[in-house]
Amino acid sequence: MARRYCIYDVFTDKKLSGNPLAVIFDGDSLADEAMQEIAREMNLSETVFIQPSTNAAYAARLRIFTPGRELPFAGHPTVGTAVALAERDYGAREANMDLVCVLEENVGPVRCAVRLRKGEAGFAEFDLPRKPARIDLPLDRQGIADALSVKASHIGFENHVASIWSAGVPFLMIPLHNLATVQNLEFDPSLWVKAAPFVEGSLASAYVYCRGGVHHQAKFHARMFSPDMGIFEDPATGAAVAALSGAIRHFDALPDGHHPVLVEQGVEIGRSSFIYLHIDVKDAEIARARIGGQAVKLAEGTLDL
């Protein structure tokens, strides 16, 4: 069977930048094992399979696979797929368009807004399907430092300390005290396996961050490493930024109101990505948060499977 697919670069408006995503449009009738094998073959951070939703009000059901395992939710597949579906259905438009759709993921329904503009990369943003929550587990500070090839004293800045947060997918958030330390770290997967905790049945992924960034508008600079997902370093991780929103609200004690945050990632591996995070705080808690970014199509074709 010939199955249509596209490759999108996500969280960027430039081809060959951002985080590449494989979108398999005809993903129904594939067994779980086949989807995992295709994701390994694509060898991208994530491959998404579009299937019909059981709810007629939803645009589609998404199955999201890394080279190592299936995920209940992920940010760059959500953004990239929302843009891909909109461009597939309305790509021949003459006018600008603003659309709203709901994508069914294993984490639950995810509401997306899509903006299409002639001559520009598509833009999509989604409401977090779950509010971020902190997971309290003992952490091996020295072991974590060794896995990153940094000093233990370099972990933490201001009120930020290493902690585990999840908005559907858990991440071990590791604040480092400045940009140079983040840029120059060397991740050792073998040491990470020894130091990192298991969370919800899987080895925690490392999300390393600091204030500021290479881009003057970035408020945070980040890197993500995940041996368990089969990803050495991810160019952009929307699910981690969703989790990071909880750490930002908690450690920065954000006041009530709206807080826009630009997170840059992927700089060190030549795949600069820009993730737009918006946090609405009410009564000292996150009332709503959303993540957005651009996506540009790089390639299209068919899989003979």
Tokens (6 digits) for 256:
């009530």
Beta bridge partners of 113: 100, 125
Identity (one letter) of the amino acid at 127? D
Q: Which residue has tokens 């974590």?
A: 144
Nearest-angstrom CA–CA distance, 153 and 226:
23
Rounded Cα distance between 201 and 115, Å, is 37
Contact partners, residue 92, CB within 8 Å, separation at least 6: none
Q: In 96-230, which ranges are E strands? A: 97-105, 108-116, 122-127, 133-135, 163-166, 170-175, 198-199, 202-203, 205-211, 220-226
Helices (H), the chain: 32-42, 75-90, 141-148, 179-184, 189-195, 238-251
Instruction: Give strand pairing partners of 155.
Output: 176
Cβ partners under 8 Å of residue 12, min gap 6: 18, 19, 121, 271, 272, 273, 274, 293, 294, 295, 296
Residue 292's contacts (CB-CB under 8 Å, 6 or more residues apart) are 79, 123, 124, 125, 126, 275, 276, 278
Instruction: HSE, CB side, 13 Å, CA atoms: give it for residue 9.
Output: 18
Active site residues: 46
